[in-house]
Amino acid sequence: MLCGLAFAQAQKGTKKGAAKAQKAQGEEKDRTLGYDDTDVLPDQKWRVHDVFRPRPRIITPGTESSPDRPGRAPADAIVLFDGKDLSKWAARMRSGEMGEAKWKVENGYVEVTAGTGDIITREKFGDCQLHIEWASPAEIANKSQFRGNSGIMLMSRYEIQVLDCYENPTYADGQAGSMYGQWPPLVNACRKPGEWQSYDIIFEAPRFDGDKVAKPAFVTVLHNGVLLHHRQQFIGRTPHARVGTYAPHSPEEPLLLQNHGGDKVRFRNIWIRRLGGYDQQ
Ligand code: MG
């Protein structure tokens, strides 16, 4: 960049002006890619606009979903279910026995199937961004907690409730999107039974120091694009009719989808991203 006077002279095209402009250009720092002489930011090792600060990785973003059509995952996501098969999943029976995931897969979705247990991811996850779409059975067969019940069990322990809550009263902290038995969703953003809905979940796994909780789990949840929880803290696990507590576990555990009495909830377009920190490449 040229300073005002030199620029004006350079514009005039005079020899003197050009020389002055060149000198001015040489002396001025190129700030295009950042600064090396600004103040250091509080609690960071970087200066304001630091020229040496690593630039974030480039990710090709996905596309949005609509009730009619699932979107596409971002390029760096792990696709857990693309509508075709359950190769990324295993079954877990109530007895704890493991096996092949046998929920029904058809027409681009997977449907909870009675008597086949929950399904869990073969891979384990901790801090993550999770996208998942679900639909309650179009045919209404029951009420309250027995109408389209399933659940997104983060680390197989911390449940974000799945339930048909369209004109279906139930207890607040058991509604769709609740942190089950702990916090109701901020609003009820449910679509009608049979319609596709989405959860976008950002989860921070708990940290343990021996038997002690060094940091509890936190979650942010959007339901059909509407905020339900904003970095809300889990009290502990999410059992039925009890106050949950923490018990130490690994930094990464499988994601689990709940089979609640065989309620025929459908899922599609499930993807997950592990979360990294700032300034990592
Ligand atoms: Mg549930």
Q: What is the pLDDT of residues 26-45, one digit of tens each?
A: 568 899 999 999 999 999 99
97-139 tens-digit pLDDT:
899 999 999 999 999 999 999 999 999 999 999 999 999 999 9
Position 68 scores a pLDDT of 92
User: Above 70 in pLDDT, residue 16?
Assistant: no
HEC profile of 52-97? CCCCCCCCCCCECCECCECCECCCCCEEEECCCCCCCEEEECCCCC
Q: How many Å lie between the centroid of ligand 1 and the Cα of residue 107?
A: 24
Q: How many whole angstroms from its chain centre is CA 84?
A: 22
CA–centroid distance, 268 to ligand 1, in Å, is: 17
- Mean of pLDDT values over 180-184: 98
Q: Distance between CA atoms of 155 and 130, rounded to whole angstroms?
A: 12
The whole-number average pLDDT for the span 12-29 is 53
C-alpha distances in Å from residue 53, one per residue of 38, 57, 276, 278: 13, 12, 16, 10
Cβ atoms 263, 146 nearer than 8 A: yes
**pTM for the full predicted model:** 0.89
Q: What residue type is assigned to position 227 of the chain?
A: L
What's the whole-number average pLDDT of the chain? 92
Give the distance (Å) from ligand 1 centre to CA of residue 48.
47
Phi-psi region of 116 (alpha: psi -120 to 50; beta: other; left: phi over 0): alpha
- Burial annotation 11-47 (CB, 10 A radius, 16+ → b, else e): eeeeeebeebbeebeeeeeeeeebeeeeeeeeeeebb
C-alpha 78 to ligand 1 mean position (Å): 24
What is the CA(149)–ligand 1 centre distance, in A?
5
| CA 142 / ligand 1 centre spacing (Å) | 15
CA of 260 to the centre of ligand 1 (A): 6
Q: How far is the CA of 159 from the centre of ligand 1 (A)?
A: 7
Percent of the chain exceeding pLDDT 70 equals 90
- The pLDDT value recorded for residue 26 is 55
Q: Measured in angstroms, how far is the CA atom of residue 61 from the centroid of ligand 1?
A: 31
**Which are the contacts of 6, defined by CB distance < 8 A and separation ≥ 6?**
17, 20, 21, 23, 24, 25
Who has greater pLDDT, 245 or 6?
245
Q: Are 81 and 57 in contact (CB under 8 A)?
A: no
**Cα 148 to Cα 279: distance, rounded to the nearest angstrom:** 42
User: Could you give all domains of the chain from N- to C-terminal order, each with its CATH number?
Assistant: 78-274 (2.60.120.560)
Question: Rounded to the nearest whole angstrom, what is the distance from the C-alpha of residue 250 to the centroid of ligand 1?
Answer: 23
Residue 20: pLDDT band (50, 70, 90) is low
Q: Hey, what are 109's tokens?
A: 């979705």
160 CA to centre of ligand 1 in angstroms:
8
Q: Are 115 and 80 in contact (CB under 8 A)?
A: no
- Residue 261 Cα to ligand 1 middle (Å): 10
Q: What per-residue confidence (pLDDT) applies to 139?
A: 95
**Distance from the alpha carbon of residue 138 to the mean position of ligand 1, in angstroms:** 18
- C-alpha 258 to ligand 1 mean position (Å): 6
